[in-house]
Structure 1
Amino acid sequence: MKASMQLKKKLLVSVIATAVVSASLSPVHAQSANATLRGKAAPGANVTVFNPQTGLTRKAKAGDDGSYVISGLPPATYRIDAGPGTEQDVTLQVASTATVNITAPAAAATSASASDATALQGVSVAATTIQEVKTPEVGQTISLHQIATIPQVSRNFLEFADTVPGMVFSVDYKGNTSLRGGAMNDSSANVYIDGVSQKSYVKQGGISGQSGSQGNPFPQLAIGQYKVITSNYKAEYDQVSSAAITAETKSGTNQFHGEVFGTYTNDAFRNRTPAEKYSGSKADSESKEYGFALGGPIIKDKMHFFIAYEQKKFQTPVTVIPNSANISHFNGQDPSIFLPESARAQLGPSNVPFNEKLYFGKIDWELTDRDRIEISTQVRRETQVGGIGTGLAASTGLNNSNHDTRGTFKWQHSGESWFNELMFTYENAFVKASPFNDAPGYIYTSPLDQDNILLNTGSADPRATQNKSQEGPSISDTFTFNDLEWKGDHVVKFGYKFKSVELRAQDAAANNPQFYYDVRADGGTSPVPWKAFYAQHIPGEDGIAQTTARQYGIFAQDDWTVNDHLTLNLGVRWDYEVTPSYVNYVTPQRVLDALDTQDPGAPTGQTFRQTLANGGININDYISNGRNRHSFRGEWQPRLGFSYDLFADEAHVIHGGAGRAYDRNLYDYLQLEQTKLNLPQTNLLFNVPDHGCDVRRTDCIAWNPALLQGQAALEALNIGPNSGQEVDMMNNKLKAPYSDQFSLGMSNTIGEWITDATVSRVISRDGFAFTLGNRYPAGNYFATESDNQYFTDGKDHRGDAAWTRGIPGLGGLILGNNGISTRTTQVLLSAQKPYTPESGWSTSFAYTFSHAKQNRDINEHYAFEEPTIQDFPVLTSNAVSKHRFVGTAAVDLPWGMNASIKLTLATPIPYTANACYGAFAENGSSCTPSVGTPRGSKFLIGGDIWGYRDIDVQLTKDFVIDKDTKIYARFDVLNLFNWKNYADYTANWGSNGVFNSNGVTYNRHGNITFVPRTARFTVGLKF
């Protein structure tokens, strides 16, 4: 081995240079789901791993010191052989590095759980599952046994990530699912299936198609196992700044195997929601899920196939209620009683239909004992009704469609001491939303809460019409050296990635104008609107933005085993993305001209550009000439980790790490600079009592009832496409959001138990936010007493934001910047006893303590409550509970039965809002961004501290037909004790200048998170 070191070093330098040059071509996202096997054997021994189920064979020669490494092994059960008498059967987990020492006959594998019974060539053997413990990554692996036994509300394989400390899988009152890591939003996470990133580049949600969807990103029947990494992932992971999930799909084997299932429930098998009990009526609901999977040989030991199909059909109950408002402004009463009768009639129970079909197909081919080819495709087709629920009446509903098609070609080649994986992918994903109705909409607002919207009725907002997509190919190559020695053993991996993806976005349509009405406690709902919002046609423009983004990335990673105790993981990656529609954008001349016109009401000669300068805004930072913008090149991401095995037996390991991870700015934000001008979106103000406006501006007119006729009547005003038009401008030096991650912990293997205690610190910066650029002539954002001159209603508007002080001749100015930040410290405790057939049971416990701060609601990228994003106070985060516990247990029972239980407890999540209570802040605002935490409920200990409580159980009975065939029946009860996990809040922030720190409570007649007590029935066949 040492004799060939010089040659290997030269080869390494040569290949690195080649990869760097190749990176100029451009990157995908190949975060491998494969496993690496390493350990000690007799010096010079030939180590062979063989999977009798598929015929896969890989070989390596042990070095002079007996060390060996075999990379690129699909997670499976293998027979390892290093000579007569050394045979072992081991199971390798997804995206892991396993240590197996085979220096003596039948040596026991280290860091292993008790053996699992696994079929090799039709014979049941004891295969030891190797647990990865020498890793700085913070996370856990979800096994197929957990997926098969733990109760779940929907067949979304990501739901089981909830059992990992630091992770939260949630189901909102509409049935929409989301997955978050730490105190960051779901857009910062990423999922990799067979090494392929599923990232959404346009919409929120992290994964394409998961924004506001009840669906699954992938058929659960096709998932073998997956790994959840909450922080300190290695350098190969890209476009992620919170949690990374890497999943391995099932493959066919030398025997035909399959499964068919069906799951059903409806409203007869569930309790009423709190809103249904309050209204006395129960909405229809139904859930159907069914599917099949089949895998087997095409050529024994050479080629196999696997296919899966799943479908779900839902009718999910929701409740239409007003948005939260400060009830002190309504004399402590429910604001809904002041709505007009036509609006109140639309409150109460409703439901939203959903239909999804998922397909997956895969062929693997063991071309030689060194080459493996995989070809796979996945298809997602779903339709659902959206836009109904809190603040949204059923009349504002949307017909949503969500399509995703992907294909992957992968070639893996194993050399004597190296491994290479080349991958090509193609994807085509899009989402569309269109309104139920083509008619005017009526929006009811609370003026004392800075015009907070209480309820939308009539029809969906023009901005709800959406058509957004991402489509394009990618290529990646990852090269791994298994056999380098220098002060220990090194496994060095490096790669390059390129992706060319066409991004497309339609942000609105010229339909459904919206009319805004005040709702007050002293007068009910105003008979006339104070504002109209509508989108205007411009001949020759379609309001669609389109660009072809190019994404590049390179990385290098060294897993360095210094000795039997210390392992170092040293990596660095660099990413670069070019979005031409942002870089090459030219600010229209009409916007430049408007900026340099007289600001109405300002001293003679003062332009709006100068007004902005008075407020500290240099508008030149946002004006693009097509040459002064450049893509951010600073995405260097060092990632360093270590693990120290105290006694060199993998029983007690200290681990830690530090690293930086960059994500990306969503195209959904960047495209607004273009689409808002291509399809002007106009705010037309009416000079009416209680809502006067500046009649010197073209977007302020007298009210005319004829305008209620709709779109044609508003466009007939001929005020021009510029008047009242929103103008979005991006900072010329946008950066990419990122997080810095630090962790220190210790894992222990005690018998069959695996425990871990870790302290994690994550600091995220440069999240994207829109702020309002409007300013009063003196440059102030909030009105002073002298600014009352710009209103004609005779009222005191001190503290009002400059909503009516946009660009002269145009409308509101919206500025896009980086600036959202979070700071999170978590204590992550876990204990697992993995399942083995010998013991017949398993259990897991996960506890998370979170201390999280943020300067903006992580789910909201519009930040209009303060002049700039830097002006927002740092508050307790509304992203995560302070305390969260998840426990599971599963056990085999007599007569072919098994049972399991899942307990979830969490303290209330804080509520953030702009608190208006009759006081002025130092900056002149009449409202202040604030946070409050509602009182929870009881569970055994701690008093009224729990905001989320849930116990789910399941019981399964197998009916064995023969040794390879069985029918099973499964019964799940979700939310066994029918606990109310409230989702809506009521706030009383105070009045007369006195802040009420205990004013946030749950709306006990509103929507709930998760489900009421529900029974689900499943039958299936496995063969």
Structure 2
Amino acid sequence: MKQRNRTMFRPNRKLLSCALASCLAMAAPHVMAQSTSATLRGAVTADSTVTVTNVDTGLTRTTKAANGNYNIGGLPPGTYRIEVNAGGQTSSRAVTLAVGQTATLNLQEAPPVSAPTGDATTLDTVRVTAPVLVETTTSEVATYVSNKQIEALPQGTRNFLAFADTVPGMQFSQDNNGFTSLRGGAQSANNINVFIDGVGQKNYVLKGGVSGQDTSAGNPFPQLAIGEYKVITSNYKAEFDQISSAAVVAVTKSGTNEFKGNFFWDRYTNDWRARTLGEKNGVPVVDYKEEHYGMALGGPILKDRLHFFFTYESKEQMRPYTMTPGRNYSPAMIPAQFQDLLLPGSQAFQEDLYFGKLSWQAGDNHLVELTAKRRDEVAEIAAGGSNSFEHGTDRDNTDDRIDLRYQLTWGDWLNDAHLTYEKTTWGPRPRSIGPGYVLVDGGNWRDTVLQAGSGADYQDKGQKGIALQNDLTFSGWQNHTLKMGVKYKQVDLDVTERAFFNPQFHYDLAAGELDIPYHVTFGGAFAGIGDGSLQTEAKQFGIYLQDDWQVTDRLLLNLGLRWDYEENPSYTDYVTPAATLAALNAVDPRGNGTQTYAQTLALGGINLSDYVSNGSSRDNFKNAWQPRLGFSYDLSGDQRHVIFGGAGRSYDRNLFDWLSLERNKHSFPENELTFNTPAHPCAVGVGNCLAWDPAYLQPGALAALATAAPGREITMLRNDLKAPYSDQFSIGIRNVFDLWGNQWNSSVAVTRVVSKDGFVFSLGNRNPDGSFHNPNTLSIPWGAGVPGNGSLILGSNGLETKASSLLVSLEKPYTQSSRWGTTLAYTYTDAEENREFGEHYALHYPTLAGYGWSNAGGVSKHRLVLTGIGDVGWGVTASGKLTLATPAPWYGTNCSSGWDICDEQDQVEPDTTIGYKSFDMALEKRWDTGTDLGFKVRLDVLNAFNWVNYNYPRWFRAPGDGAPRTNEQLFPTRTVKLSFGLDW
């Protein structure tokens, strides 16, 4: 076989000077709906006029008192000077408002808790005396992550979502491939949604919850652009959509009246980490390098009117791989012509993130914002083990989003209107186009020793569309704040999946047949059915009404109702192919000679009429009504001790990648042919046996042989598919108290979250008598598929989780006066699930009932996260983060009782007190150069005590094994990261 010259992909470092030059040219949209804007309200002396001014941007809002109250909404998070004019006298104070906050500040008397006193007429005074107001009266179960925490706490990924695990009930994880995910409670990462400047980043096609986060080491957004965010773990208000788990509500930074910028670069390598247990015992050292660098620049174009902000970040990795031939072959047993394929190497990854923002205050009542984001990611993957580099995959991952927002304030009315555009793509592709070569051991073509040539994986998946959204708030009804909104979105969903796009030719290494293959696996378009691609124009519509009703001075009710609807023509207009119907109604050759396969399925409890569609058998789901009810009661009347709670329902989405399989899976099926060779003789012309012809190595030569599609898998969806949802209940108490001369905030809440109707694929195959398992075994009936075809896969709803949690948080916020801050987040979770979390295939039992209920996989009973930030003097800031969690259950295959009765869904929980532990720390030193330029050096130490955390395998018990097996050690071992930066 001819060997190709190997050219390693090396990422080209982007020049920051180019980014600086282009920052003003960015057409950058940013939509900050009211879910990220803050609201300031409270009591005030009659006939007063209240004016709030953002001290950094000059944004001004003015309102007159009505019935002794004021209410100002649509305020971007930041520091504000508040001026109250009553009877010709003017007083001022300063406050800092957080993202999505509804803060109460009574202005007719001395400021309440957390509000500063004294003069606040200068910028310096404002910044020193303007702490964040504490929001205690919300009914949401929510916690804030400040910009100080994002900038100061130790971190290795530069993924801003990593700080969400400082919130009770949240878990951020990173595997040894660098892939990250965020999940809330017992639900998977698919069920979260991240709202950046009020715009949801939901992935409608792929897993991960957020666009671009499916099996990616990249970050969803440049961390330099994130100002702050809050995490709502349950009982969000009616404005939040496309979610059934946690909501992350983030706001981006804006330009101000001062030109500011910064640059950073950080790096860590294999030489800066401790060795794993395996490496200490002789396993080859896994080499690694990672770098991050970037810059941000912002300032005025017109003071108090027009500002810009731009940031660029890059992430580079070089991840090594080691070649290990399969089937216990040593490198010396591989023929000489393949020896160069066994050399170790590195796989490159590079991500470039761009974000730009223009903010125009067209008048005192007008705000226009335009923001744009670009994510461009290239990764080399799938090399290592028996897979040579040339046989691997190159994967592109892009995400473009543009948002235009116009906010109008008119008396008691606030209107937020915005237009958004998005386009995301995820595309693993073979590194080259041509035949693949697979060296195998003996007669079983699946016994792979080494793979070379072109790889088989070809995919192209994504979403593209526009959305119109309008949110209207009215505060003129005494004791009520009404908010209503409507959203329409038209989005094209695309899935292309062509398995075995490049044919894979198998050569028998054991028999020495290296010139002629004896087997080939290839994919091909099925004439008259499709070509492995599917596009649909989905339409989404949502509407909601929310009333925040101040019933008394102490009791607040949040009453909301939401309804969502989605059209998916690829599902509703589907017509089951005639060939599929004929196969299902054909005589089952294993039966009595007259029994059809449909009758076999009926004996097994499957009614085909639930899955066969004639193009009008299906309707879009119309019952996504979502009541959202909450309350808060101020026990002391000063917002120091508040009981809160709520109940609500929230609907998510079925991923298009899964729904598309009904049309796509059998339209580009996997085909197998055998060739008559001396070591593997077969009768030419009988079955799928052919005489070998070298022309088959040419691209497209096998396409004509794919039309019969023997063994094609058939996927069918239920005609009454629903959208997954969760019901959420909570009750808790918030407290504000003084300790050691500082203000502390605490929250204790009990939550119950029940999620239902998760999407799942089950195996429709049945034995002639309708049974699934053979007697006394747990064997899966793979050979009992549709006559003349392959297996029958059925898609329906049915996945469920149940989680009861105790969420405890304690915070002493970092302030400029105290120079230190700390947080505590403790979570106790009692959670169950009827199928492994994150899995959408349930093929081991005839129905989900066979799985029963298990402890939720990956969820620890107890989880504690402690953080601390302190200025220790001499320009040095120290920070630390301690994470402790009890063992989490994991699933695997247990064959300890025998190979024929393997339990592929066994669950094991490690017999240890602590299942995961890590302590990270950081030290940062800043130097003031005496000019506008500052210099800083930072040292992060991840897993400082080098505690061992295990990554448990999927397969953990063979016959005769005692204790479950463990797998490799999770990264990071103790790792040092060095950073440099400039501020101006």
Q: Which residue of 2 aligns with 1:765?
A: 756
Distance in 1 (alpha carbons) for counterparts of 2:525 and 2:215: 28
What per-residue deviation string (whole Å, max 9, x for no partner) do you get for residues 745-778 of structure 1? 1111112111111111111111111111111111
Q: Which residue of 2 aligns with 1:94?
A: 99
* 2:963 paired residue among 985, 996, 999: 999
Alignment of 1:474 with 2:463, yes or no, is no
Alignment of 1:490 with 2:490, yes or no, is no
Secondary structure in 2 matching 1:127: coil
Q: Contact 2:586/2:596 (CA < 8 Å) preserved in 1?
A: yes
Alignment of 1:736 with 2:723, yes or no, is yes
* 1:567 paired residue among 533, 544, 556: 556
Distance in 1 (alpha carbons) for counterparts of 2:949 and 2:831: 22
Alignment of 1:665 with 2:654, yes or no, is yes
Q: Contact 2:435/2:699 (CA < 8 Å) preserved in 1?
A: no
Alignment of 1:950 with 2:918, yes or no, is yes
Q: Which residue of 2 aligns with 1:880?
A: 859
Q: Which residue of 2 aligns with 1:930?
A: 906
Report 1:80-119 matches (<5 A): 80-83=82-85, 84-104=89-109, 107-111=110-114
Alpha-carbon distance, 1:907 to partner: 2.0
Distance in 2 (alpha carbons) for counterparts of 1:574 and 1:443: 56
What per-residue deviation string (whole Å, max 9, x for no partner) do you get for residues 695-742 of structure 1? 9xx998689999998798994994753310111111111111111111
Secondary structure in 1 matching 2:165: helix
Q: Which residue of 1 aligns with 2:498?
A: 508
Shift in alpha-carbon separation, 1:247–1:342, aligned structure 2, 3 A? farther
Q: Which residue of 2 aligns with 1:962?
A: 930
Secondary structure in 2 matching 1:609: helix
Secondary structure in 1 matching 2:137: coil
Q: Which residue of 2 aligns with 1:524?
A: none
Alignment of 1:291 with 2:278, yes or no, is no
Higher alpha-carbon deviation: 386-395 or 358-367: 386-395
Secondary structure in 2 matching 1:837: coil
Q: How many residues align?
A: 932
What per-residue deviation string (whole Å, max 9, x for no partner) do you get for residues 141-179 of structure 1? 111110110000111111111111111111110111111
Alpha-carbon distance, 1:958 to partner: 0.7
Report 1:224-243 matches (<5 A): 224-243=227-246
Q: Contact 1:832/1:843 (CA < 8 Å) preserved in 2?
A: yes
Distance in 1 (alpha carbons) for counterparts of 2:411 and 2:828: 47
1:286 aligned partner, one-letter code: K
Shift in alpha-carbon separation, 1:459–1:136, aligned structure 2, 3 A? farther
Q: Contact 2:504/2:522 (CA < 8 Å) preserved in 1?
A: yes
**What is the TM-score with the length of structure 1 in the denominator?**
0.84
Q: Which residue of 2 aligns with 1:724?
A: 711
2:800 aligned partner, one-letter code: S
Q: Contact 1:684/1:724 (CA < 8 Å) preserved in 2?
A: no
Q: Which residue of 2 aligns with 1:417?
A: 412
Alignment of 1:589 with 2:565, yes or no, is no
Alignment RMSD (CA, Å):
3.8
1:98 aligned partner, one-letter code: A
Secondary structure in 2 matching 1:165: coil
Q: Which residue of 1 aligns with 2:782?
A: 803
Secondary structure in 1 matching 2:477: strand
Alignment of 1:865 with 2:844, yes or no, is yes
Alignment of 1:557 with 2:557, yes or no, is no
1:605 aligned partner, one-letter code: T
Alpha-carbon distance, 1:544 to partner: 0.9
Distance in 2 (alpha carbons) for counterparts of 1:544 and 1:847: 46
Alpha-carbon distance, 1:62 to partner: 1.5
Q: Which residue of 1 aligns with 2:266?
A: 263
* 1:368 paired residue among 353, 363, 368: 363
Q: Contact 2:358/2:369 (CA < 8 Å) preserved in 1?
A: yes
* 1:753 paired residue among 714, 722, 744: 744
Alpha-carbon distance, 1:820 to partner: 1.0
Alpha-carbon distance, 1:848 to partner: 1.2
Secondary structure in 2 matching 1:809: coil
Shift in alpha-carbon separation, 1:701–1:264, aligned structure 2, 3 A? same
Alignment of 1:535 with 2:511, yes or no, is no
Q: Which residue of 2 aligns with 1:69?
A: 71
Distance in 1 (alpha carbons) for counterparts of 2:653 and 2:821: 39
* 2:628 paired residue among 639, 646, 654: 639
Secondary structure in 1 matching 2:733: strand
Report 1:193-342 matches (<5 A): 193-316=196-319
Report 1:143-162 matches (<5 A): 143-162=146-165
Alpha-carbon distance, 1:350 to partner: 6.7
Q: Contact 2:32/2:251 (CA < 8 Å) preserved in 1?
A: no
Alpha-carbon distance, 1:823 to partner: 0.9
Distance in 2 (alpha carbons) for counterparts of 1:410 and 1:360: 16
Distance in 2 (alpha carbons) for counterparts of 1:390 and 1:843: 45
Secondary structure in 1 matching 2:842: coil
1:755 aligned partner, one-letter code: S
Higher alpha-carbon deviation: 663-672 or 341-350: 341-350
Alpha-carbon distance, 1:453 to partner: 10
Q: Which residue of 1 aligns with 2:381?
A: 386
Distance in 2 (alpha carbons) for counterparts of 1:122 and 1:272: 51
Distance in 1 (alpha carbons) for counterparts of 2:891 and 2:666: 32
Shift in alpha-carbon separation, 1:511–1:46, aligned structure 2, 3 A? same
**What is the TM-score with the length of structure 2 in the denominator?**
0.88
Secondary structure in 1 matching 2:150: helix
Shift in alpha-carbon separation, 1:720–1:222, aligned structure 2, 3 A? closer
Secondary structure in 2 matching 1:590: helix
Q: Contact 2:355/2:372 (CA < 8 Å) preserved in 1?
A: yes
Alpha-carbon distance, 1:535 to partner: 1.7
Q: How high is the sequence identity, in percent, across the aligned residues?
A: 44
Shift in alpha-carbon separation, 1:607–1:831, aligned structure 2, 3 A? same
Report 1:674-693 matches (<5 A): 674-682=663-671
1:957 aligned partner, one-letter code: K
Secondary structure in 1 matching 2:817: coil
Q: Which residue of 2 aligns with 1:11?
A: none
1:827 aligned partner, one-letter code: L
Alpha-carbon distance, 1:276 to partner: 3.7
Q: Which residue of 2 aligns with 1:941?
A: none
Distance in 1 (alpha carbons) for counterparts of 2:655 and 2:38: 32
Shift in alpha-carbon separation, 1:929–1:125, aligned structure 2, 3 A? closer
1:999 aligned partner, one-letter code: A
Distance in 2 (alpha carbons) for counterparts of 1:609 and 1:151: 59
Shift in alpha-carbon separation, 1:121–1:986, aligned structure 2, 3 A? closer
Alignment of 1:402 with 2:404, yes or no, is no
Secondary structure in 2 matching 1:985: coil
Structure 1, unmatched stretches of 5+, are 1-27, 324-334, 519-527, 688-694, 786-797, 936-943
Shift in alpha-carbon separation, 1:265–1:768, aligned structure 2, 3 A? same
Q: Which residue of 1 aligns with 2:887?
A: 908
1:491 aligned partner, one-letter code: T
* 2:868 paired residue among 869, 889, 894: 889
Distance in 2 (alpha carbons) for counterparts of 1:877 and 1:339: 42
Secondary structure in 2 matching 1:245: strand
Secondary structure in 2 matching 1:678: coil
Alpha-carbon distance, 1:54 to partner: 1.3
Q: Contact 1:115/1:128 (CA < 8 Å) preserved in 2?
A: no
Higher alpha-carbon deviation: 429-438 or 217-226: 429-438
Higher alpha-carbon deviation: 856-865 or 309-318: 309-318
